[in-house]
């Protein structure tokens, strides 16, 4: 069963001025769509064709003979997750259980924000910054290119795409400004809290 490009969970203009409709149009309509098409073409007629995407990602991570399938599949998963990590009028501080976990595991919201921003800004080249559950505790990580926390047995809670295609039209080379705007105005904390499970 072929994967389909999921629609954005909001209107393409909904995240302006922090993420433009132009950026979302290319990022979702071209980049994400291409990963879906490439994955479907690569997985066709293989034993993985009918397996759930998450299972394929976990199973083939690190297998150099399946690098292209992994890259496209992980990028499909990462982008679908990333769209849901944002919402109009998002950002700021979470509440409830998530706030308590950030206090106890990460030393408070300011330390979380600093560590997340640092991971996003110091990811050399393309990749992703993450808030994950690792062994029952919150942790900040970063991954290169298409890689993600699933093969590491970490549960993804929040991600920020720091490939240049995620921010270049709106922020040019100013990745730190993009990550700050993501934290201040875009994060969908309800989604993050739901991912705690």
- What is the closest distance, in whole angstroms, from the C-beta atom of residue 95 to Mn ion in the complex? 29
Residue count, binding to Mn ion (CB under 5 A) = 3
Treating both helix axes as pointing N-terminal to C-terminal, what angle do 96-106 and 189-196 enclose, rounded to 10 degrees?
A: 70
> Using CB under 5 A, which of the segments 60-68, 90-98, 154-162, 179-187 binds Mn ion?
154-162
Does residue 163 bind Mn ion (CB under 5 A)? Answer: yes
Q: Is the dihedral of CA 178, 183, 187, 193 positive or negative?
A: positive
Of 30 and 44, which has the nearer Cβ to Mn ion?
A: 30
Of 116 and 163, which has the nearer Cβ to Mn ion?
A: 163
Q: How far apart are the C-alpha atoms of 180 and 92, rounded to whole Å?
A: 10
- What is the closest distance, in whole angstroms, from the C-beta atom of residue 31 to Mn ion in the complex? 5
> Using CB under 5 A, which of the segments 14-22, 54-62, 84-92, 156-164 binds Mn ion?
156-164
CA atoms within 13 A on the CB side of 48: 18
Of 15 and 102, which has the nearer Cβ to Mn ion?
A: 15
Helix (H, G, I), strand (E, B) or coil at 138: strand
Q: Answer whether the bond into residue 154 is a cis peptide, omega within 30°.
A: no
The closest of 194, 188, 166, 13 to 91, measured between CA atoms, is 188
Does residue 18 bind Mn ion (CB under 5 A)? Answer: no
Does residue 147 bind Mn ion (CB under 5 A)? Answer: no
> Using CB under 5 A, which of the segments 88-96, 144-152, 163-171, 181-189 binds Mn ion?
163-171
> Using CB under 5 A, which of the segments 34-42, 108-116, 165-173, 180-188 binds Mn ion?
165-173
For residue 63, how many other CB atoms are within 10 A of its CB?
10
Q: How far apart are the C-alpha atoms of 9 and 83, rounded to whole Å?
A: 7
Binding site for Mn ion (CB under 5 A): 161, 163, 166
């Amino acid at each position: 069963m072929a994967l389909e490009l999921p629609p954005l969970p909001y209107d393409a203009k909904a995240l302006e001025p922090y993420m433009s409709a132009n950026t979302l149009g290319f990022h979702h309509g071209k980049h994400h769509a291409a990963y879906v098409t490439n994955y479907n073409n690569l997985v066709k007629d293989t034993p993985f064709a009918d397996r759930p995407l998450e299972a394929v990602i976990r199973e083939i991570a690190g297998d150099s003979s399946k690098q292209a399938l992994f890259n496209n599949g992980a990028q499909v998963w990462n982008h679908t997750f990333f769209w849901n990590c944002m919402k109009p009028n998002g950002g700021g501080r979470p509440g409830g259980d998530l706030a308590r976990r950030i206090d106890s595991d990460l030393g408070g919201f300011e330390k979380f924000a600093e560590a997340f921003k640092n991971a996003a800004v110091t990811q050399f080249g393309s990749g992703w910054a993450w808030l994950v559950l690792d062994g029952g505790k919150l942790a900040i990580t970063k991954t290169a290119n298409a890689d993600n926390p699933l093969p590491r047995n970490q549960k993804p809670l929040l991600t920020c795409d720091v490939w240049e295609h995620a921010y270049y039209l709106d922020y040019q080379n100013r990745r730190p400004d993009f990550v700050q705007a993501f934290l201040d105005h875009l994060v969908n904390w309800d989604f993050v809290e739901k991912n705690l499970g």
